[in-house]
Structure 1
Amino acid sequence: MTDLTALFTDLVRLETRLYNALDSRLKAEHELPLGQFEFLRYLASRDTARVFDLAHEMAITVGATSKAVDRLEAAGRIRRTANPSDRRSSLVELTAEGRRALESATPTVEAELQTWVGSVLPAPVLEQLATHLSMLRQRAEIDPRTDRAGT
């Protein structure tokens, strides 16, 4: 029987080490922290998003998300506009500079992930892992105990 506590420890340690490796390389080569890369990537997949939407997607607090949005806006990579549907919130969108930063950094992230994950696992195992992690993530995302955006 699988030791779920040991599995959890492996997942957390892998995530931490992989995050640190990607973050270090992105900062060194693109002056773009991994967290900001993730924000840009999310925004590139839609026209606009509210800060709350970003917080929910990243599983962090609205306060932490607002600070990250402030930094990205100061760097000229995103812009905020008034939300016509809700005066209490604003909409965030990528700028041309944000798209350039994302396009430049994406091959670096993909190369690093290939080194750490893609080159280690055979394609069928990687496909299974992706499927199973997606299932686990979906389960976690429907549980209100895992949503930090509202805190």
Structure 2
Amino acid sequence: MSSVTPFFIDLVRTETRLYNAVNTRLRAELDLGTGQFELMEIIDRVPECRVLDIVGELAITVGAVSKAVDRLVAAGWCRRAAHPQDRRSSLLHLTPEGDERLSAARRVVEAELAALTAAVTPDDLDRAAATLALLRAALEAGAHGQLG
């Protein structure tokens, strides 16, 4: 039986390098970090998005997400609206400036990731994506990957 540790190490190192390269380009071109991009992408994609929706997707704490959303609000890229059924919760919406910023960021992210993964065939990328999707689903279905 082979060890899964080399897979884990390669996965983490690859993710770190991809994340850092995308972050560098986003900061240089749009003054936007990859973390901000991720939050804005979730807010845009999830109907009636709340902080807890982001927590569930990113598996980070409520406090971390709330502070990050506060920074998006302060930048003018997001707004909070009262939740009609839950006074303790807010609905998150991108502002028009946030929509524009996200649209530009999506183009930058896609271009940078395409350049960074050019050495890998599309079929190999598809297989890797399918494998990671299976692993992620298994982790998210269990207690792993959830906040303690």
Which string of whole-angstrom CA distances, capped at 9 and with x for unpartnered residues, describes residues 82-136 of structure 1? 111111111111111110001111111111101112x121121111111111111
**Any idea what the Cα deviations from partners look like across 1:49-80, whole Å, max 9, x if unmatched?**
11011111111111100010000000111100
**Aligned position for 2:18:** 18
Structure 2 match to 1:34: 34
Runs of 4+ displaced beyond 3 Å? none
Match of 1:127 in 2: 126
Question: What TM-score results when the alignment is normalised by the length of structure 2?
Answer: 0.94
SS at 2:135 equivalent: helix
Residue of structure 2 equivalent to 1:104: 104
CA RMSD of aligned residues (A): 1.2
Of the structure 1 ranges 39-48 and 126-135, higher mean CA displacement relative to structure 2 is found in 39-48
Give the SS at the match of 1:147.
coil
CA distance in structure 2 between the partners assigned to 1:128 and 1:145 by the alignment: 23
SS of residue matched to 1:145: coil
Q: Does 1:45 align with 2:45?
A: yes
Deviation at 1:48, TM superposition (A): 2.4
- Alignment pair present for 1:77 and 2:77: yes
Total equivalences in the alignment: 148
Partner Cα separation in structure 2 for residue 64 and residue 71 of structure 1: 11
SS of corresponding position for 1:80: strand
Q: Aligned partners of 1:8 and 1:99: how far apart in 2?
A: 35
